[in-house]
C-alpha cells in the first residue's frame, strides 16, 4: 500500500509542467521529494530560508495571504515555493511549461488537500 507521501508525490507529478518537487516541514525535515540531480538537503535549506524570508517581507508590507514565491532561472526551470500551514512545497517547472497554468494547478491541488484536512478535523 502506498504511503500518503508517495500518493502526494504521484499526484503532484501528474500536474502538467511539474518537473521536480520537495516538501519540507517548517523545521527543515524533508517529507517527500523526487530530486535526483540536486542534493535534497541543500535545496531544503534554500527552500526554507527563502520561504521564511518571504514571510518576513510579507508581514513587513502588511500582506496577509501570499499564494507562492517565484525564483526565476535563466533556463526557465523556475522554482515556486508554496506555503501549506507548517509545510513548504518547492516545485520546479519544466522549461517549456506554462507558468500561470502550473501555478493555478498546483494551487488547486494544495487547496484540495487543505479542504480535505479541514473536513476531517
> What ranges do the domains of the chain cover?
4-120
Has residue 40 got a pLDDT over 80?
yes
CATH architecture, domain 4-120 = 2-Layer Sandwich (3.30)
State which H helix or E strand residue 22 sits in: strand 18-25
What mean pLDDT is reported for the chain? Answer: 87
- Let me know: does 89 contact 82? Beta carbons within 8 Å: yes
> In Å, how far are 9, 57, 77 from 19, measured between CA atoms?
11, 28, 8
pLDDT at 30: 92
Lowest average pLDDT, out of 4-8, 90-94, 100-104, goes to 4-8
pLDDT tens, residue by residue, 47-82: 888 888 887 887 788 777 778 888 888 888 899 999
Give the pLDDT band (50/70/90) at residue 121: low
Amino acid at each position: 500500500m502506498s504511503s500518503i507521501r508517495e500518493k502526494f508525490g504521484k499526484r503532484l507529478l501528474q500536474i502538467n509542467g511539474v518537473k521536480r518537487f520537495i516538501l519540507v516541514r517548517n523545521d527543515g525535515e524533508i517529507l517527500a521529494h523526487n530530486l535526483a540531480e540536486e542534493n535534497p538537503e541543500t535545496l531544503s535549506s534554500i527552500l526554507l530560508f527563502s520561504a521564511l524570508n518571504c514571510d518576513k517581507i510579507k508581514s513587513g508590507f502588511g500582506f496577509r495571504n501570499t499564494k507562492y514565491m517565484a525564483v526565476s532561472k535563466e533556463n526557465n526551470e523556475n522554482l515556486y515555493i508554496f506555503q501549506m500551514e507548517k509545510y513548504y512545497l518547492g516545485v520546479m517547472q519544466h522549461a517549456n511549461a506554462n507558468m500561470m497554468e502550473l501555478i493555478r494547478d498546483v494551487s488547486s491541488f494544495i487547496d484540495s488537500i487543505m479542504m480535505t484536512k479541514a473536513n476531517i478535523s
